[in-house]
Amino acid sequence: MNERRASHPPGLRAWLGLLVVLGPVLLVAMDGSVLFLAMPAVAEALSPSADQTLWILDVYGFAVGSLLIAFGSVGDRYGRLKLLMAGAALFGAGSTGAAFAPGPELLIAFRALMGVAGATLLPSALAVLGALFTDPRRRASAIGIFAATFAAGFAVGPALGGQLLNHFWWGSVFLLNLPVVLLFLLLAPVLLREVPTTRSSRIDVLSVPLSAAGILLTVYAIKHAAAAGPTAKTVATGVVGAVTLGWFARRQLRLAHPLLDFRLFRDRVFTIAALTGLLPLAAWSAVAYLGGIYLQSVLRLSVLKAALVALPGAAVLTVTCVVTPALAARIGTRAALVTCHVLIAAGSLPLLLTSASGGTGWYLVSTVVAGVGYGISFSLVADTAVAAVPAARAGSAAAIAETGNEIGNALGIALLGSLAALVFRLRGPDVAGTLSETLQIPGLAPAVITDAKSAFVSGLHAASAVAGVLHGALAVFALRWIPRTRAVTGDGTFTQPVAPDTVEDSSMR
């Protein structure tokens, strides 16, 4: 059905409320990537092991992704604005603790706390935003701004972290959150209003620890095996994690109110949309993390120069996210999604031309080309999630979409990062588990340093190649599974994408 223009456009308070909501959204996204360029400085200050380095980076994303759907349901039932306020306060407390963590263990713990807080913020923020803008056209614009802000946070996080490290110590990347949190806590009660709750929304308490434990145990086993080789303990951990995830999935299929409704994946279009929320973030986070190490530790660029190299891709990603709704309205969701994955796959190719002696230009080209694809994916997933469900389930629907983003962000580092670590272990000089640890060993021969850098670049190549192949395959599936639909109706309003079983594919006419 086509959406009609509402008779009362939003006023100044709604737009000011949008600005207030965007503060936590920017922080949650930015803290998923702000450490990518900062990790060499963190490694030098805290000396984390290879496992601890990966956990510092991705425990935040796993905490957010594991709890987003649960907190979406909590907001539906008990109030989204209340959850926003509590989450913002907790996020500020976690940021303060992380900034002054004396060792890697406490930094991991505070990053996990920030992730729990972040899981309360995203679904509730999007639901409150929907309540502010009841007019369909204005709401679409607001959601586009929301998506652009979320994408911009991920994109500029590394560059911003690099700028701060050029002047301050590594903990400053977390203290940056505090002014935004305080401003939100002061203005939110004035400009935002509570969204009506849905008392029928239920939360299956057992599903929350099952999903979190299954993900963490499985990923821990993969990362540990890649970094140090398989052991009996690692294999046992992986088996327990896989069984736990299987238990979680089977339980969801039997519940009347599942935490994650796997039945939705029977729809091919929904499956493509869900994967579009997952894979681009996985590729982007892995390339941003590995690229930050490549620019600083391999090519020996300063943190400021590395941040400047990352800026063009961040700018392209952000602008693309803003213009994507208009683009999709003209060319259709199918064409936009196919274009998205083709560009990300194409953007992976220049990384294969980088080497231990040079490759800054190829890295920049890669981030710019792929940045267009990332921007399209971020924007389409957010808009589709809210438009597809009743307002009462907006929090849960937003959580499903954002779960794909956050889990993708963490999985990219955990899985593709582990692939790079495995290649480094197999091809490197075997004196330490990571490139950073290797370069910190005093008295290394130049040949050993060269071998270590070359092994790391080989790992970067492997990760980018896998990301490119996966996105190329997803482009083919999107082309085959998503039906062609008219993007704009005669009166100027937009049509929504429809599942293949309800619309005849025009390519078959």
What's this model's pTM, rounded to 2 decimal places? Answer: 0.71
Kindly state the average pLDDT of the residues 209-236: 82
Residues 272 and 276: their CA atoms lie apart, in Å, by 6
Q: Which residue type sits at 355?
A: S
CA distances from 444 to 17, 159, 300, 410, 448 (A): 56, 31, 17, 33, 6
Q: pLDDT-derived band of residue 338, with 50, 70 and 90 as boundaries?
A: very high
Domain boundaries, the chain: 12-194+259-502, 204-258
Cβ contacts of residue 382 below 8 Å, gap of 6+? 126, 143, 146, 147, 150, 398, 401
Dihedral angle, C-alpha 290, 292, 297, 298, nearest 10 °: 70
Write out pLDDT tens, residues 69-115: 677 667 766 777 888 888 889 999 999 999 999 999 999 999 999 98
Q: pLDDT-derived band of residue 469, with 50, 70 and 90 as boundaries?
A: very high
Under DSSP, the state recorded for 490 is T
| Alpha helices (H) in 302-441, listed in sequence order | 303-331, 333-348, 360-387, 394-411, 417-427, 435-439
Residue recorded with tokens 């941003």? 288
Kindly state the average pLDDT of the residues 409-415: 74
Q: Which residue type sits at 479?
A: L
Contact 321, 375 (CB under 8 A): yes
Q: Which CATH superfamily is domain 12-194+259-502 in?
A: MFS general substrate transporter like domains (1.20.1250.20)
Instruction: Please give the pLDDT value at position 457.
Output: 96
- Phi, psi dihedral angles at 494 (to 5 degrees): -95, 145
Residues 145 and 285: their CA atoms lie apart, in Å, by 21
Instruction: Please give the pLDDT value at position 362.
Output: 95
